[in-house]
Structure 1
Amino acid sequence: MDFTAEKKESENNSANNPENAHQTLDSSSPQLASALDSSSKETEERQSRELKAGLHPLKNKFVFWYTRRTPGVRNQTSYEDNIKKIVEFSTVEGFWVCYCHLARPASLPSPTDLHLFKEGIRPLWEDSANCNGGKWIIRFKKVVSGRFWEDLVLALVGDQLDYGDNICGAVLSIRFNEDILSVWNRNASDHQAVMALRDSIKRHLKLPHSYVMEYKPHDASLRDNSSYRNTWLRG
């Protein structure tokens, strides 16, 4: 979906902000199949309501989160406490309303994380949607990170990346000497999906050949308590 033409007409619309719970179910259970059917039905009903209201529904509902934390070793409890939900949206109009009011990366202090995740998925390694997955990591100089972050956000919200159903969300990590973009996926063991996501990210960001992408499973992050060190794969 192309968002550029929709920006102006979004200025008079506002985004909703209800809380939503995420239910953990075994992947082989009948309950999961029932939950997926229910989720699909709810999505169809939501999109139907938004179309009737003259809006442009997105395929997925998204949530922006914000983390401002003290530098040092990651502590799970304190990290979860520091994650703040900013706003959620499910239409093109709702996206532009909230995005136009978000602070730009260049104005954010270090260390800060901006998270954009599908509704029902928390930006945590331990979340049931993330725990078997991992993330592609790209490091940027601070002067260019804002542009690449915006391009990534538009591709994610517009469902333009390959294997979109396997994507959980994206993170921009503001650090002292660089900024880091990461795209999280559900299944680190699906090599085809992992590599297709890498190629799709490169294509949509028009990533110069000099940039190196690194991949790290979340279970490895849990073991070494690090988001971006000791990556497993470079491409």
Structure 2
Amino acid sequence: MDFTSEKKEAENNKNTTNGNNPQEIVDSSSQLSVADGNNSISKEADEFRERQARDLKAGLHPLKSKFVFWYTRRTPGVRNQTSYEDNIKKIVDFSTVEGFWVCYCHLARPSSLPIPTDLHLFKEGIRPLWEDSANCNGGKWIIRFKKVVSGRFWEDLVLALVGDQLDYGENICGAVLSIRFNEDILSVWNRNASDNQAVMALRDSIKRHLKLPHSYVMEYKPHNASLRDNSSYRNTWLRG
């Protein structure tokens, strides 16, 4: 899905949104602020059809999935998991192309965010935590960027994710931009770390859509390994 045609209109309507968002992330001019598995899947499908019909009736363009932007203002030197969960804040959710651009145009650019900060984009119902039921058996592909280029690659990744352009999209949970002192790190989270075909296909799809230079190395780490060593980006398992 191509979102470019919607961007200009969204920027011209920045003052039409409402809600409350943390000031660190949202532009100052903004007002944004199992049961049975089969039953769960059926319920999600019904909710999607209802949402799609409602959006189409309103003249909007529904996305395949509903998404949520989150952010975490990390405390330097503190690695406590409880503290991390308490610091995760929801910014805004959206389910249409138009809704995405209204939200995205209000978000502060990565270069203006404090260090260290994590900006998350996840499908609705999935929290950006290793222990979440959608994430616990999965992992993430990791790419490290110089700070001067990370914003562009993050935007390309966000557009690919929201537009359902990455292969094995149903296996993707979300993406994270981790803003650090000497580099910024992009990661794409998937549901199943043991599905080697899906893991490697996701890597290739990310490389293709981001047009990564050959010099960039991608690393993969399962979330259960992150839980064991309490680290997101150290001791990665795969490189490619």
Runs of 4+ in 1 over 2 A off after TM superposition: 8-17
Deviation at 1:8, TM superposition (A): 2.6
Q: How does 1:73-112 map to 2 (within 5 A)?
A: 73-112=78-117
Q: Distance in 2 between matches of 1:198 and 1:145?
A: 18
User: Does the alignment pair 1:167 with 2:165?
Assistant: no
8 Å contact from structure 1 (residues 15, 95) kept in 2: no
Q: Distance in 2 between matches of 1:53 and 1:14?
A: 16
Identical pairs, percent: 86
User: Does the alignment pair 1:7 with 2:7?
Assistant: yes
Deviation at 1:32, TM superposition (A): 1.3
Which residue type is aligned with residue 210 of structure 1? S
The superposition leaves residues 117-145 of structure 1 with CA deviations (integer Å, 9 ceiling, x where unpaired) of 00000000000000000000000000000
The superposition leaves residues 38-93 of structure 1 with CA deviations (integer Å, 9 ceiling, x where unpaired) of 11110111011000000000000000001001112421111010000000000000
Query: Which runs of 5 or more structure 2 residues have no equivalent in the other structure?
Result: 21-33
8 Å contact from structure 1 (residues 16, 88) kept in 2: no
Residues 1:15 and 1:90: Cα distance change in structure 2 (over 3 Å): farther
Q: How does 1:23-172 map to 2 (within 5 A)?
A: 25=34, 31-172=36-177
User: Does the alignment pair 1:232 with 2:237?
Assistant: yes
Q: Distance in 2 between matches of 1:197 and 1:154?
A: 15
Which residue type is aligned with residue 126 of structure 2? I
Query: Which runs of 5 or more structure 1 residues have no equivalent in the other structure?
Result: 18-24
Which residue type is aligned with residue 82 of structure 1? N
What is the TM-score of this pair, normalised by structure 1?
Answer: 0.93
What is the TM-score of this pair, normalised by structure 2?
Answer: 0.91
Q: Distance in 2 between matches of 1:127 and 1:34?
A: 20
Which residue type is aligned with residue 134 of structure 2? A
